[in-house]
Every structure is written in structure tokens, then in C-alpha cells.
């Protein structure tokens, strides 16, 4: 069990003036991230715990559910393959470019279609028996944004999960594509976030089929066209330029066929705001043709591998969680400006134990209850890696409680005037208990409610 006095938890009273979004303000004030240069951040210890928990959730879906294999492709990418696919010239100033000491061109990878295709191709022609191949990584990505802003939402260095798959035929990739979509939905549900899957433009990546995952949030930068009574949803980018000039124009009938929307033509199209966190593409053979990633079928015939790619922005997902996660029973009190409410799956710590200071005799008594009763009991019944002991016995309760809310612990165990209280911060529920042994049963009431 970590002692609060033994760890460095820097916090700020005020958010930097350029921080406009709630998520940016709270994550900086709470000491999760610290800006080092425009759009470039240090991930502080609390932020690293959140990121590692999110990585575990993602790893589990990718490996156990999808059977994908984890790799780490380089960050520093040679220009050679980017020239072959044409993206070296097509990509503008958003690509960080550099030269090595021998004047060779490199870039910092924003995405790795060329690299992973080169890698697979380097092992020669692949038997159809080796397919599909499903590789993913969770690494830093780079994009020299014109206007980096909103903290982790739009950084120049950010953490992404990107997966690439290689298949022998269309049927196989479509099945896998659907499985990836299900996994993305599992991850977003595990985080308790409101999301929508929309049809999307394929942009610079290329390919012929694409969906995005958006977290719904008023502060989102993307306009999504959603049917109000069915499941049709698309990024506004898919519509004609003239239609984009006014959002009113979307107060239209959902002229869908049965296959494209469940409203059966009865719905209206509305605009919603979203934060893009995931993007899936069927790439086809664009990269495998050019970079010679070749399969051999049962009849010894050669074919270019059919590829898909699947991104999930982890830094952005953390910011989006702070921006838009609401515990379903939460009151206005705990969604105030000075509190982060984390989805339980990625809360940096689940519990803090603290005391109200009081007079010296009271202070000692409360300390004894914590150290001789609560700590030993919890050490045997909960995961102590998730518990912080606030051992600043003389610090005011107001300071400690404000810190607990800003950081976003799920549980506060408080020993004060009223004896032992268990606070469930996301719901503002407070439970009085006579003894530490009652704590686990209180926690268990809430687990299922948080882990939707």
C-alpha cells in the first residue's frame, strides 16, 4: 500500500490559461500530464497508471479476443517505402522529417502501413496456411499539427494502438473487420463511454471501406450525421461540400434503405458532436501491391495480401473519458469543475484512506484505527496496489478531500468525527461503518454498476 507522503503527486491550483477543455484543465491540474512543448507532454506517474490500465484492457481484447500478436515497429522510419507508396510527397508539413548523419531521409511514424507491409514482405511469399496475420503495437505516434490544442486531444506526440491485418480473401478480412469493431465496442463499453460508430472517409490512408468510433461530447471537433430513430451514422466529411455549410440542412429525412438504417426511412438526420478515438479501414491491396507482400494459395498461385488497419487513440481516449464520462447516478456535485470521475477500469488508484486531523488525542486515535484496523483488514481483502494511504495526519480534511476528488479516486475511506465513513465519489454516496470488515461488501455493491 502506497503512502501518500512517499510519492510525488504534483498538482496545480490553476489550469494553464490556454487549457479550454475540462479534460485538459483537470488532467493538468491533477498532475496527470505536463506540457513540455506545444502538443508534447510528459506523462506523470498518475497518467502512466491510467495509460497502463488502458493498455491492459486493449491488450486483452487484441490478444485474447482477436488473436492478434503484439509487436513494436520503429518510430524512426526510413523514407524509402514512403516514397514507393507516394506518401512521402503526398503528406504535407504534418509529417516530422529528419535526416541522419549520412543524409538519409527519415520521418517520425504517424502510422505504419508501409513499415508493417515491408516487414511481412521481408519474410518472402507467405503460404495461405500462415494467413491471416494480425499484428498490433501500442507506441508513440507523431503528427506536426498546425494548431496543437485541447491537451491530449490533439497533440503532436501521442500514444496509439494500431493494428494491421493480412488476409487471403475478402471474406476473411470482412469477418475480422467485424470482430475488430466488436472489440472496439467492448473496450468503449468497458469504459462506460457513450459512443457511435460512423461511416467515414478513407483520407490519406487510402482503401475502400472505413468506419470511425466517436465518443459523443459537446466539445467534440467532429460533426456526425446521425439518424434520430435508427442506427445510420456518418462523418459529415462523407457529404457534399455544399451540404456541410449549414448544420440545418441535415434536418432531412433519413433516405435510407432497409440495409443502411434500422429506421426504415422514417428518421430525420441530426448533427451530433464527436471525439474521434478509433478508425478502421479495409485497405485492400494498395500497400501489398506496391511493397510486394505476396501470398501463395493452395494452387501455388500468387496474390497480393488483402490488408486492413485499425487505429485506437489511447491518449485521446483518456482525455475523452475525462471529458465525457459520467457515472450514471452522479449528481452535479461530483461532476463539478474540480473533480475527475474516472471509469473504474482506468482510475489510477481505486481507493484512498484518510483521517480528519482534529486534536492530538483524536488524531492519534484515528491513526490507530487506520493502521491497526483498516490497513491490516484491507491488505487481506482488496488489491493493495489500488490503495493509497494518506499519511499526512495533520493535513486538513478539506485539502485532502479536494485532492481526492481532483484525482478521481473511486473510494475514500475516511476516519473522522463520525467514525469510519466510506465515500463512493462517483455517486456521492456515503456509508457509515462500524468496522473495516464491512468495507468489502459496500464496494461489491458498486462494482457491477461501474463496470458496465
Q: Indicate the burial class of 185 (C-beta count within 10 angstroms; 0-12, 13-18, 19 or more).
A: middle
Determine how many CB atoms are found less than 10 A away from the CB of residue 281: 25
Q: In angstroms, give the least distance from the CB of 30 to a copy of itself.
A: 13
Residue 388 cell numbers, joined: 493509497
Q: In angstroms, give the least distance from the CB of 335 to a copy of itself.
A: 27
Of 80 and 170, nearer to a copy of itself (C-beta) is: 80
Q: In angstroms, give the least distance from the CB of 298 to a copy of itself.
A: 15
Determine how many CB atoms are found less than 10 A away from the CB of residue 396: 11
Q: In angstroms, give the least distance from the CB of 79 to a copy of itself.
A: 10
Of 154 and 156, nearer to a copy of itself (C-beta) is: 156
Q: In angstroms, give the least distance from the CB of 228 to a copy of itself.
A: 41
Of 193 and 354, nearer to a copy of itself (C-beta) is: 354
User: Contact positions toward a copy of itself, by CB under 8 A?
Assistant: 5-8, 10, 12, 34, 36-37, 40-45, 47-49, 51-52, 67, 69-78, 93-94, 96-98, 100-101, 104, 106, 108, 115, 118-119, 122-123, 129-130, 133, 135, 140, 142, 144, 146, 156-157
> Which residues partner with 140 through β-bridges?
159
Residue 47 cell numbers, joined: 497518467
Q: In angstroms, give the least distance from the CB of 169 to a copy of itself.
A: 17
Which DSSP letter does residue 280 get? Answer: E
Of 70 and 199, nearer to a copy of itself (C-beta) is: 70
Of 34 and 285, nearer to a copy of itself (C-beta) is: 34
Q: In angstroms, give the least distance from the CB of 445 to a copy of itself.
A: 31
Return d(Cα 124, Cα 137) in angstroms, integer. 22
CA atoms within 13 A on the CB side of 147: 4
Who's near 421: CB < 8 A, 6+ residues apart? Answer: 413, 414, 415, 430, 431, 432, 433
Q: How far is CA 248 from CA 85, 236, 414, 443, in A?
A: 40, 13, 52, 47
Of 76 and 336, nearer to a copy of itself (C-beta) is: 76
Of 29 and 424, nearer to a copy of itself (C-beta) is: 29
3-class state of residue 8 by DSSP: coil
Amino acid at each position: 500500500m502506497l503512502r501518500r507522503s512517499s510519492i510525488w503527486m504534483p498538482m496545480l491550483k490553476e489550469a494553464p490559461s490556454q487549457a479550454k477543455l475540462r479534460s485538459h484543465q483537470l488532467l493538468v491540474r491533477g498532475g496527470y500530464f505536463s506540457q513540455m512543448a506545444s502538443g508534447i507532454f510528459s506523462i506523470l506517474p498518475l497518467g502512466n497508471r491510467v495509460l497502463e490500465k488502458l493498455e491492459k484492457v486493449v491488450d486483452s481484447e487484441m490478444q485474447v479476443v482477436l488473436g492478434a500478436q503484439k509487436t513494436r515497429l520503429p518510430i524512426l522510419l526510413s523514407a524509402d517505402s514512403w516514397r514507393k507508396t507516394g506518401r512521402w510527397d503526398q503528406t504535407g508539413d504534418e509529417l516530422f522529417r529528419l535526416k541522419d548523419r549520412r543524409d538519409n531521409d527519415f520521418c517520425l511514424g504517424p502510422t505504419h502501413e508501409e513499415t508493417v507491409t515491408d516487414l511481412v514482405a521481408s519474410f518472402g511469399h507467405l503460404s495461405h496456411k500462415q494467413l491471416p496475420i494480425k499484428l498490433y503495437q501500442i507506441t508513440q505516434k507523431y503528427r506536426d499539427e498546425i494548431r496543437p490544442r485541447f491537451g491530449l486531444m490533439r497533440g503532436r506526440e501521442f500514444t496509439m494502438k494500431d493494428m494491421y491485418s493480412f488476409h487471403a480473401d475478402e471474406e476473411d478480412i470482412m469477418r475480422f473487420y467485424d470482430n475488430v469493431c466488436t472489440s472496439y465496442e467492448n473496450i468503449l463499453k468497458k469504459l462506460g463511454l457513450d459512443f457511435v460508430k460512423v461511416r467515414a472517409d478513407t483520407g490519406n490512408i487510402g482503401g475502400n471501406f472505413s468506419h470511425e468510433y466517436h465518443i459523443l461530447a459537446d466539445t467534440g471537433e467532429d460533426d456526425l450525421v446521425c439518424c434520430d430513430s435508427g442506427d445510420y451514422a456518418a462523418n459529415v466529411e462523407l457529404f457534399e461540400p455544399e451540404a456541410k455549410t449549414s448544420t440545418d440542412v441535415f434536418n432531412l429525412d433519413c433516405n435510407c434503405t432497409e440495409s443502411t438504417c434500422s429506421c426504415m426511412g422514417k428518421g430525420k438526420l441530426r448533427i451530433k458532436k464527436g471525439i474521434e478515438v478509433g478508425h478502421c479501414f479495409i485497405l485492400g491491396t494498395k500497400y501489398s501491391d506496391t511493397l510486394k507482400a505476396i501470398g501463395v494459395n493452395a494452387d501455388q498461385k500468387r496474390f497480393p495480401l488483402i490488408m486492413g488497419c485499425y487505429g485506437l487513440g489511447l491518449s485521446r481516449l483518456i482525455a475523452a473519458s475525462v471529458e465525457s464520462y459520467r457515472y450514471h447516478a452522479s449528481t452535479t456535485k461530483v461532476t463539478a469543475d474540480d473533480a475527475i470521475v474516472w471509469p473504474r477500469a482506468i482510475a489510477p488508484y481505486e481507493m484512498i484512506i484518510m483521517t480528519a486531523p482534529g486534536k492530538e488525542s483524536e488524531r492519534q486515535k484515528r491513526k490507530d484505527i487506520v493502521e491497526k484496523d483498516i490497513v491490516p483488514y484491507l491488505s487481506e481483502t482488496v488489491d493493495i496496489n489500488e490503495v493509497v494511504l494518506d499519511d499526512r495526519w495533520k493535513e486538513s480534511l478539506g485539502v485532502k478531500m479536494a485532492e481526492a476528488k481532483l484525482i478521481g479516486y473511486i473510494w475514500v475511506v475516511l476516519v473522522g468525527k463520525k467514525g469510519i465513513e466510506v465515500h463512493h465519489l462517483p455517486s456521492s454516496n456515503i456509508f457509515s461503518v462500524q468496522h473495516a470488515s464491512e468495507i468489502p461488501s459496500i464496494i461489491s455493491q458498486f462494482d457491477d454498476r461501474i463496470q458496465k
